Amino acid sequence: MEKEDEKGRGGGDYHVQVDTGSDLLWVNCAGCANCPRNSDLGISLMLYNPKSSSSSKMITCDQDFCTSTLDSSNNECIVGMRCSYLVKYGDGSSTTGSTQQALDGILGLGQANSSIISQLAMAKKVKKTFSHCLSGSTGGGIFAIGEVVEPKVNTTPIIPKETHFNIELKAIEVGDEFLRLPRDIYDGRTRRGAIIDSGTTLAYFPNEIYNQLMRSIMVAQPNMKPHIVDHQFKCYKYLGDVDDGFPVVTFHFTNTLPMKVYPHQYLFQVQDGKDVILLGDLVLTDKLVTYNMEDQTVGWTEYNCSSSIKVKDEETGMVYERLDKFLTESEISFAASVVENRRRDAQKYA
């Protein structure tokens, strides 16, 4: 692992995927044989070359940064050896060593000490609070570090002692009917609740929830027959406006916080079911979602992500307007892509 001390030295602009389901900020490095050179987003990809940087430093396993900030997977450290790491994603998959993914890399914004939001907070630069708003119609959206003061957002508690942003799901409503499921399937203490993961495109459910959810949804179209696409996705041919032909699904969380999912944001099933409830970015589109690790809450409100939000600067108390652009106070930019996310999902859930 290598560390870059200052932004701008030996580098340029990198396009990374914002991922609340992991922690590390990383980019593909020079010498990578299988890393992507082109993007479906129409952006230029770049490999980071540590040798061209005046500030890049090798992190060894005996350094404080490795032992206190990273979840090192090396239990037999010898002075001078490289710092190894272990990253666990929201769906249960993991990576070790150096990773090779789509785009230039990943901006992990999880709760661990290794995430950039945690490191900035430990350096007293910011509080551990950030928000995103992903536009489902035009693409792009808003990303900001700091407290959102407008619009107002209702919140639900993060389940304690969990690695990811796990929140307690209380009920699922399809149209005006609630699913009748055993209470323990929602129980956050035994099922770990639902994971909010912006780095995953789709949403995933245990089979018991998924099967009843699909039966309730398809009551609106009883004569439609499914077909399988790409050997894994259950799809239906429908020529009309799906928002007119299918019901709204509402997830109800602690603090009576609902999340409405409209038919155009519907979910896909992968052949191998997961014993986890995971809500990806299709579900999160057209909502301002806030993550407050200071108060241990997650919240959201339906919002036009092509507009703007107002964010408070903790040091000055000033309120700034963030427009339809992915920016933070540290001028970290990123690009998010459903196409690229789906490639990652295929690898994660294969």
**CATH code assigned at 269:** 2.40.70.10
Task: Identify the pLDDT of residue 73.
Answer: 52
The DSSP element (H or E) to which 345 belongs, if any, is helix 338-348
Cα separation, 16 vs 310, whole angstroms = 24
Q: Tell me whether residue 306 is in a domain.
A: no
Q: Are residues 180 and 221 in the same domain?
A: yes
Q: Give phi and psi for 119, each to the nearest 5.
A: -65, -40
Residue showing tokens 């970015």: 281
Quick one: pLDDT at residue 185? Answer: 67
- What is the rounded average pLDDT of the residues 40-52? 80
- Report the distance separating Cα 4 and Cα 16, nearest Å: 16
Burial category of 65 from C-beta neighbours within 10 Å (exposed 0-12, middle 13-18, buried 19 and up): middle
Same domain, yes or no, for 191 and 278? Answer: yes
**Domain contains 281:** yes
pLDDT at position 150, please?
Answer: 93
> Is 69 part of a structural domain of the chain?
yes
Judgement on whether residues 57 and 96 belong to the same structural domain of the protein = yes
> Which of 280, 300, 320 marks a domain boundary?
300
Query: What does pTM read for this prediction?
Result: 0.76
Residue 317 in this model has a pLDDT that exceeds 50:
yes
74-78, 120-124, 264-268: range with highest mean pLDDT: 120-124
Nearest to 254 by CA among 291, 209, 299, 216: 299
313 part of the active site: no
The region, left, alpha or beta by phi > 0 then psi within -120 to 50, assigned to residue 191 is: alpha
Which structure tokens are listed for 170?
A: 């209380």
Give 60's pLDDT tier (boundaries 50, 70, 90).
Answer: confident
Mean pLDDT, residues 340-344: 40
Q: β-strand 277-279 against 194-196: which pairing, if any?
A: parallel
342 and 285, same structural domain? no
| Cα 53 versus chain centre, distance | 30
Task: Let me know if residue 140 belongs to a domain.
Answer: no
In this structure, are 62 and 111 located in the same domain?
yes
- Residues 121, 208 within the same domain: no
| Same structural domain, 80 and 157 | no
Whether the per-residue pLDDT at 24 is higher than 70: the answer is yes
Domain co-membership, 157 together with 279: yes
Greater confidence (161 vs 331) lies with 161
81 and 43 co-located in one domain: yes
Mean pLDDT (whole number) for 142-164: 91
pLDDT of residue 102: 54
271 and 339 inside one domain: no
Is the residue at 316 inside a domain? no
- 248 pLDDT band (50/70/90 cuts)? very high
What is the number of alpha carbons within 13 Å of residue 291 lying toward its C-beta? 26
Quick one: tokens of 67?
């032992």
Asked, for residue 309, whether it belongs to a domain, the answer is no
- Asked if pLDDT for residue 14 goes beyond 60, the answer is yes
Residue 244 catalytic? Answer: no
Domain extent at residue 47: 2-125+330-348
Question: Is residue 338 domain-shared with residue 281, that is, in the same domain?
Answer: no
> Does residue 56 sit in the same domain as residue 171?
no
How many domains is the chain partitioned into structurally?
2
Range in 56-60, 210-214, 274-278 with the lowest mean pLDDT: 274-278
In a domain, 254, yes or no: yes
Contact in structure between 269 and 210 (CB atoms under 8 Å): yes
Asked if pLDDT for residue 331 goes beyond 60, the answer is no
Q: Which of 163, 48, 23, 166 is nearest to 106 (CA)?
A: 23
Which residue out of 23, 91, 197, 345 is catalytically annotated? Answer: 197
